[in-house]
Amino acid sequence: MTRRCRFLVVLILIAASSAALFSQDAVVPWDDHYKAALPEGFDPWCGPVVGVSGPTDVVVATAQLSNGKPIDIYYPTTSAVLEPRGAVLFVAGNSDVQIRNEEGRPWMQSSQVLGWARLAAEHGLIAVAYENDGHPNDCLKTVGQWLRSNGPDYGIDPADIGLWSASNSCGVAAGAFRTGTDRFGGIVPRFSVFFYGDIQLRSDHDVSIPLFVTCGERDSWADNDGIQRFVNRLRDRGGTVEFMVNSTGSHAFDVKDDTEETRAIVEAALAFMVDQL
């Protein structure tokens, strides 16, 4: 077989695999995905992320982790993925066993995740969300292993992954950039975003990755003084961190406080992720 023929065969195989992934059976429009997750509309316990409105070209594929739990991959459009690119992973911190029992669905099907994943995809990123099996730290490792093995088949570069977390998810996400550990299945995150979560800077945290941290001044749930100490200590150790405080924001202000300040912080977080990937 000539070199030209081999090259054509490779192109055909790539096209065939892409066609299989992006067949109508493999991906669905975000609106259909959203309606399947929340048939009665945005849920009252965790409303829509500010800035989510109107039609969108975002599509969603669903796969399965080794523990049997689902993982959703959000793309800007069906034709957006021509080669593996970076992605942002929305970290699940609370036990989805408990959340499913209380709310009837996992956190990955909440308005917050659906909205953020859509916004990330609309900004040109691939967004990934998953259901944990009741052991958030172990499941993050499982997700990392899945991304390393299967990510390229879904247009994801496993060497170019960033993390987004909020509230109780922040501690799980922070564990992923501890040195000498395998918290993320062998993946070293490129960056991490923390929304109003209690986080502590440990001596073995890798402060070389950029961080985006934000909190609400009127948050009665998170320890804002602790968040400020985290940022100060990180900067003292030479870390790069973008820190924003919502002067009127409460806990979960990204889904509860639709103000100009909230929208500015959401846009800043999205811009930060885009710049890193």
In the predicted structure, residue 172 carries a pLDDT above the cut 80: yes
Average the pLDDT over each of 21-30, 172-181, 196-205 and give the range with the smallest value: 21-30
SS3 call for 236 = helix
Has residue 52 been placed in a domain? yes
Averaged confidence pLDDT in the chain: 88
In the predicted structure, residue 210 carries a pLDDT above the cut 90: yes
Q: Band the pLDDT of 3: cuts 50, 70, 90.
A: very low
Give the structural domain span for 41: 25-276
Pairing of strands 192-195, 156-166: parallel
Has residue 190 been placed in a domain? yes
In the predicted structure, residue 148 carries a pLDDT above the cut 60: yes
Has residue 5 been placed in a domain? no
Contacts made by residues 178-183, CB under 8 angstroms, sequence distance 24+: 178/202, 178/204, 178/205, 178/206, 179/204, 179/205, 179/206, 180/204, 182/141, 183/137, 183/140, 183/141, 183/144
Look at the chain and report how many structural domains it folds into: 1
Has residue 234 been placed in a domain? yes
* Dist. CA 224–CA 233, nearest whole Å: 14
Has residue 12 been placed in a domain? no
pLDDT of res. 80: 66
Has residue 209 been placed in a domain? yes
Has residue 9 been placed in a domain? no
Q: What is the mean pLDDT of residues 76-91?
A: 84
pLDDT of res. 24: 44
pLDDT of res. 77: 87
Has residue 16 been placed in a domain? no
Q: Which of 186, 139, 178, 182 is nearest to 161 (CA)?
A: 186
Q: Band the pLDDT of 5: cuts 50, 70, 90.
A: very low
0.85 exceeded by pTM: yes
Q: Looking at residue 152, which CATH number applies to its domain?
A: 3.40.50.1820
